[in-house]
Amino acid sequence: MGLLTIGAFARASRLSAKALRRYDELGLLPPARVDSFTGYRYYDETQLERARLVAWLRRIGMPLARIRDVCDLCASDADAAARDIRAYWAQVEAETSARRDLAAFLVDELAGKDTDTMSPLTTTPPPLGPLGPLGPLGIRYAARTDRGLVRERDQDAAYAASRLLAVADGFGDEGGAASTAAIEALRPLEAMVPGSVRAGDLLNALEDAALRANDAVRGLADSGTTLTAMVWTGSQLALVHIGDTRAYLLRGGEFCQITHDHTVVQSMVDAGSLSPEEAASHPQRAMLLRALDGGDGHARPELRLHEARAGDRYLLCSDGLFAAAPEADVRRTVEAVAEPDDAVRELIALAHGAGGPDNIACVVADVAAL
Ligand code: MG
């Protein structure tokens, strides 16, 4: 097997000589031989496969430390390496999707603010404000929690008012206090005046509120809570989400989950190592990766702005509903029951019909022209 000079190896692997020197320093792709006198690096032809994999992984933007792990895995278990690449890409897409939403809102906000000086953006229609073509929008809502049929206490919390929708699922001895405290920490946001708050400021205020909630939970030993909440601005919903409570949207006949669970099983689904069906019945499906638990490590809320439309119906709920009742039944109820208050009651009845194994928190809200 012949040795190649660094120049020849660079050409064959499509990596630059400079990159090869760096990958050598990092232990990612050490040369087969280094001339002790000249310091020249020589590579074996058999290293080309690894080098080409490195080049491809760099092209998809994978960080070098992770590339080293994938390459090492690839040597022993190509399937495991493939799963790791899939997991990396799922993570990139989730992050890109959150950033895409935020970018769209920033573009809308700037385009609406000054269309004269930002001519490239004037082809974008201005955002539908509270006084857009459809007239002012408002929400009709209902909220309820229920102990279920098995648990001794109700540690879920639900809240709905004209500006704030929230559900929280507390855990630990003081879980009830934790879920209540999390929603209480959001209440000051209700005082924000519709239309007067910039999107970025609202998201910052939401993040501050979630971190205040985490501070409040810190005093409650070994307890914590999830939180899924939306603040209504008059045309948009600012979403804060942490843990495995969920938000769903019914729009134009389509019913979809708009939050992503922060759970161990969801990360395994993202990585392709578990199917959604397997996740639903996994014994550890409730194990959280993120929560408001008073610590610094897990309290990383996800924040997003969501454009609301007249006719939208939102469902916020805890796992006492979605892990117990079949999704098809939940969807049918959300579609069929006109009044939010009736819908909430029927959803809780569905969870009871499935044995009511957990507390149930449920909020239904309709966006409608006022
Ligand atoms: Mg629960």
The single-letter DSSP state of residue 222 is T
pLDDT attached to residue 279 = 87
Domains and CATH numbers, the chain: 3-76 (1.10.1660.10), 95-369 (3.60.40.10)
CB 239 within 8 A of CB 230: yes
Report in angstroms the alpha-carbon separations of 169 from 26, 111, 249: 45, 39, 20
How many whole angstroms from its chain centre is CA 223?
22
**In angstroms, what is the span from residue 360 Cα to ligand 1's centroid?**
7
Closest CA to 64 of 12, 14, 13, 20: 20
**In angstroms, what is the span from residue 115 Cα to ligand 1's centroid?**
47
pLDDT attached to residue 106 = 74
**In angstroms, what is the span from residue 168 Cα to ligand 1's centroid?**
9
**In angstroms, what is the span from residue 359 Cα to ligand 1's centroid?**
6
**In angstroms, what is the span from residue 42 Cα to ligand 1's centroid?**
59
CB 107 within 8 A of CB 307: no
**In angstroms, what is the span from residue 317 Cα to ligand 1's centroid?**
10
**In angstroms, what is the span from residue 316 Cα to ligand 1's centroid?**
13
Handedness of CA 286, 291, 295, 300 (dihedral sign): positive
pLDDT attached to residue 118 = 32
Residues constituting the chain: 370
Residues 6+ apart with CB under 8 A from 327: none
Please give the full DSSP string across 301-352, using - where no structure is assigned.
-EEEEEE--TT-EEEEE-HHHHTTS-HHHHHHHHHH--SHHHHHHHHHHHHH
The single-letter DSSP state of residue 197 is S
**In angstroms, what is the span from residue 286 Cα to ligand 1's centroid?**
8
Three-state secondary-structure class, residue 84: helix
**In angstroms, what is the span from residue 245 Cα to ligand 1's centroid?**
8
Please give the full DSSP string across 10-58, using - where no structure is assigned.
HHHHT--HHHHHHHHHTTSS--SEE-TTT--EEEEGGGHHHHHHHHHHH
pLDDT attached to residue 284 = 84
How many Å apart are CA 14 and CA 168, to the nearest integer?
51
Say if residue 121 is exposed, middle or buried (CB neighbours under 10 Å; 0-12, 13-18, 19+): middle
How many Å apart are CA 250 and CA 308, to the nearest integer?
11
Token match 């290293």: residue?
A: 47
**Average pLDDT, 10 consecutive residues per value, the chain (370 residues):** 89 90 90 92 93 90 88 89 88 79 74 46 35 67 97 97 96 96 94 74 89 90 94 88 96 93 87 82 87 86 89 97 96 97 98 97 93
CB 128 within 8 A of CB 134: yes
Give the amino acid at 13: S
pLDDT attached to residue 66 = 87
Token match 């309709």: residue?
A: 366
Residue 356 tokens, joined: 């009511």
The single-letter DSSP state of residue 148 is -
